[in-house]
Structure 1
Amino acid sequence: MILYALIFAIACFCAALLFNLYRVVKAPGVTDRVLALDTMAVNAIALIVLFGIYEGTAMFFEASLLYAMTGFVATVAFAKFILRGDIIE
């Protein structure tokens, strides 16, 4: 039964990634695109964790932590670029 729940969750997060990708391409403003990219990072982290549960290995959990850290730094850099026009002061 848990296998069906994992497959359903993976399918839902894949659909969410596709909707976010559409929002990145068709968003009216830069802030909407940055928010969609941040949401894509969160969805990708969830997919990595779900795939780790599916495979039964801890390697994917470590990869998801690394991806979460880089995704957070990228979101902060995008926000700083939008506010100030440059990243490095």
Structure 2
Amino acid sequence: MTWLIGVIYVVFAAAALITLWRIIRGPSILDRAVASDVLLTEVMCVLGADMAINHHTRTLPVLLVIAAVGVFGSIAIARFVARKDNADR
């Protein structure tokens, strides 16, 4: 069972590295915004997996804060891009 946990964490780490690459290399702000949402989701999945593996709920408030940051960040970026698009017209 411990090797399976190791494999899970390796897969999450590889996905996080690929996502960080997209955040750094993303050609537009929307690509970077989507990649940052994916990275936040990956962090939430790792914390959720940790809670399931270790049978605790101590990190549940952290999950809620990360989810709120992701939602409000996406809304802020969408509003910024919409204003920039209207200013260009």
Provide structure 2 residue ranges, at least 5 long, that are not aligned to the other structure: 85-89
Q: Deviations over 1:5-45 (max 9, x none)?
A: 33222221111111111101111111111111111111111
AA partner of residue 51 (structure 2): G
In 2, the alpha carbon distance for the partners of 1:84 and 1:7 equals 45
Distance 1:67 1:20, change over 3 A: same
Please list every run of 5 or more consecutive structure 1 residues that lacks an aligned counterpart in the other structure: none
CA-based RMSD of the aligned residues comes to 1.5
Number of the residue aligned with 1:49: 48
TM-score (ref. length: structure 1) = 0.81
